[in-house]
Structure 1
Amino acid sequence: MNKFKKILVATVVAGLAVTSCNDDFVNTSPLDQVSEAAVWTDAALAEAFVTELYGGLGNGGFDEQMLASLTDETAFTHPGRNITTITESRSNPADPGWINGTLSWVNMYSRIRACNLALKNLEAPKFNNSNKIAERLRGEATFMRAYFYHQLVRYFGGVPLVDRPYTLGEEDYMAPRNSMEECINFIVKDCDQAATLLEGTTLAAGRASKAAALALKSRILIYAASDLYDMNTAKAKSSAMAAFSKPEVLAISTGSRTERWTKAKAAAKAVLDLTGYGVALNLSAPVSKEEGSTNYMNIALSRNGGEKDLIFARYFINAKQENGGRQGLFNGPNGYHNWAGNTPIQNFVDDYEMMDGTKFSWQNPQQASQPYVGRDPRFYASLLYDGAPWKPRTADVAAKDPVNQIQTGQYELGDGSGTKTPYFGLDTRKSTVEDWNGSYTGYYMRKFIDPNPGIVDQNTWQQVPWPHLRYTEAIFNYAEACIELGEDAEARTWLNKIRFRSGMPALTESGDALRQRYRNERRIEMAFEEQRYHDARRWMIAPTTLGRKANIITVLGTLKPGKTVSLYKYDPNSYNYEYKVTDMDPGKENRTWLDKMYFLPIHRDEMNRNNKLVQNPGY
């Protein structure tokens, strides 16, 4: 295993390395380094060491390439990033495809070793511990170890469990993969211990807490009860899993799923019972469309009370210009000089219900002629579509669009005489503004982008946190467990709390119909939050979701007879609009699902370093 043969050195503070220097010729200590022994005899340095563990979170999910583009949520616009290696099921041990650093095997084990170093040295603190700082630091390190292991497990399956720092001179640095059950139990134990150690602590935003430990436990136990993690179900639904020689590293065979769902339900309820979390969950009826959109936007931006939904997050500040604060640039429209990185696909857009709770359908003539009218209020807080209002354009573009509307279609301009000139929208790939950055899908992401007109996305950083763990996720976990245990009424009670604050009517279904409504509700509410990739796999619906061809929209606006338009704006009084859904050009992306993609391959280099590892099925 990578790094098992090395003494990993964790950074204490920026620019300081935990090393020692004792030269026989010059017996001096370096001014830019701190010895490992010194770190654990000084409470402030020990705190700095543990603080650096959070560096393993990276930018959360706010990198230029987002996990959403590995799913049926978005498509990545720019070529050459190894996204399609995964979406087209071409992953292999030599080239797994794009893997975010927050789930990289190498990075996670480096961070796990740092956690183990902290836990070992904090068992018997060598500094004054009268204020119990060592217990709190141990709680944080234990939580972070659980978090890093849960990242490895949900991407790779069972992994080698290492609970101590390796040292020089050991007989064997190799380690086999533990079973999925052992990994789940290990993570749960760490979560329980972290929750106990962090009981009663109040730390800065972005650090571990009892609530975070309980929320992580809820997540991993929901996974453990799901189809992909149940050996019999996984084998029945996947030939690759059925043929695998070591199925225990990917799924659980002992006990019953009822027992697992019961544990998952209890873990989620423990989160719901916490005080101080949750937003607008005491409603008895749906709020208005406008309030529903506002509620959802406030939660996504973590402001105006929406921050109460966050349990554990990665925060960003303007003083430290990190890429996590550049979502406007990364995902905004090219007509605003942005990069259109992860753009929603039609498959996802179509799953937003109508305001009355019915499904949207292109077979309904009225809905097909006005697809952006009367949809779930979260639609308007999550997506930028043709004609959607948005920020003022930059000075060099403002004259072309003084009304500030998204333009993703092709339209006609005319003087009323019958002569018509084609005009391509400012936010298309034939725009007069950075056409190479235009969306292929006809949509842009709105969620997580600060709508403040004073924030010019291409040169201003925003301060929107990435939601690692949300209170709402725990509600979904609880509802899912209730559905699987046949407790439909309880599930509906909690799901309708989320729907009412969003302006949507109550769910009334039972059984499998309720299960399907629940899954769509989770898909919409948790959009772009790295939930869909894991949900589609653990539910084993990936062949018909992640593997489905990506759909796009083309919009054509033709002038009505006698209408004069010299400067385009969205105007149904002057234009007839036609909307056409097609598959994305397969030369751009040709999505395909193979069952090997239920888990990522362990990189060839790791397999070569550790001869006790067994590769995942299909590779």
Structure 2
Amino acid sequence: MNKLKVISMAFVAALVVNTSCNDDFVNTQPLSELSENAVWADAALTEAFVSEIYAGFVLGGFSEQMLASLTDEAIFTHPGRNITTITEGRSNPADPGWINNTHNWTDMYRRIRATNLALKNLETPKFDNPALADRLRGEAKFLRAYYYHQLARFYGGVPLIDRPYELGEADYDAPRNTWAETVDFIVKDLDDAAALLKGRNMAAGRATEASALALKSRILTYAASDLHDIPTAKTKSTVIANFAKPELLGYVSGSRTERWQKAKDASKAVLDMTSYGFMTNLTAPVSKEEGTANYMNMSLARNGGQRDLILGRYFINAKQEDGGRQGLFNGPNGYNNWAGNTPVQLLIDDYEMMDGTKFNWTNPQHASMPYQNRDPRFYASVLYDGSQWKPRSAANQPRDPLGQIQTGRYEVVNAAGEKVTHFGLDTRSSPIEDWNGSYTGYYFRKFIDPNPAIVDQNTWQEVPWPILRYTEAIFNYAEACIALGLEEEARTWLNKIRFRAGMPAITESGQALVERFRNEKRIEMAYEEQRFHDTRRWMIAPSTLGRKANGIAITGTLKPGKTVSVYRYDPTSYDYTYRVFEIDPGKENRNWDDKLYFFPVHRDEMNRNANLVQNPGYVTN
């Protein structure tokens, strides 16, 4: 935001230089640029300007590094990306660690300035199309709210700038607004956007009335949470308790019940939109196979599953963006992919059994067959040892004719009749690509198109990133209902999600219902940038994000009398053993620090703006 001062001075200097030239040169119109007046006087150019503001979505959550790897969902395989700066609690204003450009302070304010420019020039449109002007105002209002919400959920209350700064202003150093003011500002923009976009048939990927209401549901749910209720947050964190400006982080007074009621009402407004939602009218669980298929259809946004997607970041093969390369970024190394964000055992263990009971390593049957009879969403989300996947490349099919994931080490018999060790093709000892193997023994399948024709290392896919889902609004509604004591209503809506996935009904009450709700959201929304924010706003990060990352070691030993020369997963020929291990601290040594409830404002921003206040737990030098 405050870079404007530097840019403005450079611009003024350029004008001074240019005025020393002849008038004809100065008045020449650039062939590659349009004047500001030309843009705002032309309806198509104005629409193009607003459309470009969506570029702040960047790739959504489909960057090579994913927010999942800052959580107990995943670990990032490759070194040198500054992720461990955060996961090991070393983040600081000079080196905050990996910050994606979807929530980077400077990038967000750049987009906010663009929305302010659009809104200023659309107050009195210079073109004759009132309907278009209203629609573009609605989109700009939504986008401004979205970018402010990104800042708020990472940083707390932030400077609220609602107009484009001009040259020669007396002061560009805006202070941070309170959390309450920030939430109110976002909600006001979303209410305006919903009204302006109501009834409009928008193209996929553009803001709609539904997306405005869904984002309102999210921000009000966050606002009602423990982290943003300062009396509650102070009891759970000494870092917050000792902060001199708690109003920047949450509400210092007022009624949490009223805040939860607002969140409930906002969420129900989304649920009442009958044009959205996928298979939420079931009264009993579907079959295991249907549950897996339903989850895949939502994750891939196809076969009806796209009805769950309220707002997405879309990708097309004609424009080859990295957002269409999830197979390359996260697929198995034995398929010549990069194994970027691999699931940790902590996540795997939280997938329930088909009967709704918890998985337990102390149960001999569970321990001997850990991938059988699990929640159907597990099979749609994770590639595990022995799971069926795509055909290998022609060069590697002789090693694995069946296309099965191999993340263990197994006995085979060589040409001389000797037992030797076969290292799985998808391990870090793989004969294909050992350097890109998973450290955890798993790969993530969700969002990766299973079509064998899409060869992940050299083709792109057309799977959208889910920015806002109808299912998220269900979770928001259920969470508010639980907080307000409406447990039966919460269970009713949670069971709609579970029945669709083939899982039995939730029946718990009280704290047990809270825990069941949290695990249900963890599983349903895995890898969707929900977990990082949820664990922080629930203030359970020390016991979740603070846990050491772990994985699975798998050994296949030939049964007596069995002879196998080319390995395949086969319990009739092999005895399999499974051992959970912690990730080597030299790779990643996770450590939660309460300062990470909020990200640090970068030192450069603090130096530019003397009115900024740093977040708790950080020292700006």
Match of 2:11 in 1: none
* Alpha-carbon contact 1:417-1:562 (below 8 Å) kept: no
Q: Deviation at 1:511?
A: 1.0
Helix, strand or coil at the partner of 1:102: coil
Contact 1:414–1:563 (CA<8 Å) still a contact in 2? no
Deviation at 1:35, TM superposition (A): 0.5
Q: Displacement, 1:419? A: 3.3
Which amino acid is 1:387 matched to? G
* Contact 2:385–2:441 under 8 Å retained in 1: yes
Cα deviation code 1:99-139 (max 9, x no counterpart): 00000000000000000000000000011124x11110000
Counterpart in 2 of 1:498? 497
Q: Residue 280 of structure 2 aligns to which amino acid in structure 1?
A: L
> How many angstroms apart in 2 are the aligned matches of 1:103 and 1:164?
20
1:37 CA displacement: 1.1
Q: Which amino acid in 1 is paired with 2:93?
A: P
1:259 paired residue number: 258
Structure 2 letter corresponding to 1:337: N
Q: Is the 8 A contact 1:550 1:583 kept in 2?
A: yes
Whole-angstrom distance in 2 between the partners of 1:398 and 1:494: 46
Q: Which ranges of structure 2 fall in alignment gaps of 5 or more residues?
A: 9-17
The equivalent of 1:82 in structure 2 is: 82
**What does 1:397-476 correspond to in 2, within 5 Å?**
397-414=396-413, 419-476=418-475
Any idea what the Cα deviations from partners look like across 1:67-116, whole Å, max 9, x if unmatched?
00000000000000000000001000000000000000000000000000
Matched-pair contact (CA < 8 Å) for 1:313–1:469: yes
| One-letter amino acid of the counterpart of residue 267, structure 2 | A
User: What amino acid is aligned across from residue 617 of structure 1 in structure 2?
Assistant: P
Q: Which range moves more in the overlay, 325-334 or 245-254? A: 245-254
Q: Where does residue 154 of structure 2 map in the other structure?
A: 155
Cα distance change on mapping 1:415 and 1:437 into 2, 3 Å: closer
What secondary structure is seen at the aligned counterpart in 1 of 2:41? coil
> Equivalents in 2 of 1:253, 1:613: separation in Å?
20
Q: Distance in 2 between matches of 1:237 and 1:412?
A: 51
2:414–2:420 contact (8 Å) kept in structure 1: no
CA distance in 2 between partners of 1:78 and 1:217 (Å): 36
Distance in 2 (CA, whole Å) between partners of 1:25 and 1:468 is 49
Please name the residue that 2:3 is paired with: 3
Q: How does 1:174-323 map to 2 (within 5 A)?
A: 174-323=173-322
- Taking the aligned partners of 2:406 and 2:444, their CA distance within structure 1 comes to 14
| Structure 2 counterpart SS, 1:101 | coil
In the aligned structure 1, how far is the partner of 2:416 from the partner of 2:562? 9
Shift of 1:521: 0.3
TM-superposed deviation, 1:352: 0.1
SS of the equivalent of 2:578 reads strand
Question: Is the contact between residue 212 and residue 469 of structure 1 (CA under 8 Å) also seen in structure 2?
Answer: yes
SS at match of 2:24: coil
1:49 match: 49
Shift of 1:415: 6.5
- How far does residue 503 in structure 1 lie from its aligned partner after superposition? 0.2
- What SS does structure 1 have at the residue aligned with 2:398? helix
CA separation of 1:53 and 1:6: change in aligned 2, threshold 3 A: farther
Give the residue type in structure 2 aligned to 1:248.
Answer: E
- Give distance in 2, aligned partners of 1:560 and 1:110: 63
Q: Which residue of the partner structure matches residue 342 of structure 1? A: 341
Q: Distance between the aligned counterparts of 2:171 and 2:416, measured in 1?
A: 85
User: Following the alignment from structure 2 to structure 1, what is the Cα–Cα distance between the partners of residues 473 and 301?
Assistant: 17
Q: List alignment gaps of at least 5 residues for structure 1.
A: 9-19
CA distance, structure 1, for counterparts of residue 413 and residue 459 of structure 2: 38
TM-score (norm 1): 0.97
Q: Is the 8 A contact 1:265 1:482 kept in 2?
A: yes
Task: State the alpha-carbon separation in 1 of the partners of residues 107 and 414 from structure 2.
Answer: 61
Helix, strand or coil for the counterpart of 1:476?
helix
Tell me the distance in 2 between the aligned counterparts of 1:200 and 1:422. Answer: 64
Any idea what SS the aligned residue of 1:113 has? helix
CA distance in 1, matches of 2:297, 2:362: 34
Instruction: Report which stretch shifted further, 74-83 or 411-420.
Output: 411-420
Secondary structure of 1:149's aligned partner: helix
- Matches of 1:221 and 1:288, distance apart in 2: 35
- 2:132 is aligned to 133
2:36 corresponds to 1:36: yes
- Kept in 1, the 8 Å contact 2:2–2:173? The answer is no
C-alpha distance in 2 between matches for 1:201 and 1:280: 25
| Alpha-carbon distance in 2 for matches of 1:395, 1:44 | 49
Question: What is the match of residue 121 of structure 2?
Answer: 121
Q: In structure 2, how many angstroms separate the alpha carbons of the residues matched to 1:203 and 1:488?
A: 36
* Whole-Å separation in 2 of the counterparts to 1:6 and 1:328: 42
User: Is the Cα contact below 8 Å between 1:7 and 1:167 reproduced in 2?
Assistant: no
Q: 1:190 Cα shift?
A: 0.5
In the TM superposition, residue 416 of structure 1 has moved relative to its aligned partner by 11
Q: 1:378 deviation in Å?
A: 0.1
Which string of whole-angstrom CA distances, capped at 9 and with x for unpartnered residues, describes residues 184-214 of structure 1? 0000000000000111111110000000000
1:12 is aligned to: none
For 2:64, the equivalent position in structure 1 comes to 64
Query: Which amino acid letter does the alignment assign opposite residue 302 of structure 1?
Result: A
Distance in 2 between residues matched to 1:275 and 1:139, nearest whole Å: 22
Counterpart of 1:388 in structure 2 is 387
Instruction: Tell me the CA shift for residue 418 of structure 1.
Output: 7.8
Q: Distance in 1 between matches of 2:373 and 2:195?
A: 47
- The question of 1:479 aligning with 2:478 is answered yes
Distance 1:59 1:481 in 2: 31
Q: Which residue of 2 aligns with 1:110?
A: 110
Question: Aligned partners of 2:108, 2:415: CA distance in 1, in Å?
Answer: 64
Tell me which residue corresponds to 1:331: 330
Superposed CA offset, 1:460-490 (max 9, x none): 0000000000000000000000001010000
Q: What CA distance in whole angstroms lies between the structure 1 residues aligned with 2:181 and 2:253?
A: 11
**Structure 2 CA distance for aligned equivalents of residues 318 and 396 of structure 1:** 26
Shift of 1:3: 2.7
Residue pair 2:2, 2:172 contacting (<8 A) in 1 also = no
Inter-partner Cα distance in structure 1 for 2:438 and 2:311: 32
The alignment's C-alpha RMSD in Å is: 1.4
The answer for the alignment partner of 2:514 in structure 1 is 515
The whole-number CA distance in structure 1 between the counterparts of 2:375 and 2:366 is 13
Secondary structure, in 3 states, of the residue corresponding to 1:362? coil
Query: Offset at 1:7?
Result: 6.4
Question: By how many angstroms is 1:2 displaced?
Answer: 2.8
Q: CA deviation at 1:254?
A: 2.5
Tell me what 1:166 maps to. 165
Task: State the secondary structure of the residue aligned to 2:553.
Answer: strand
Question: Could you list the per-position Cα deviations for residues 217-254 of structure 1 after superposition, in whole angstroms to 9, with x for gaps in the alignment?
Answer: 00000000000010001111000000001010001122
Q: CA deviation at 1:343?
A: 0.1
Paired residue type of 1:28: T
How many residues align? The count is 607
1:551 aligns with 2:587: no
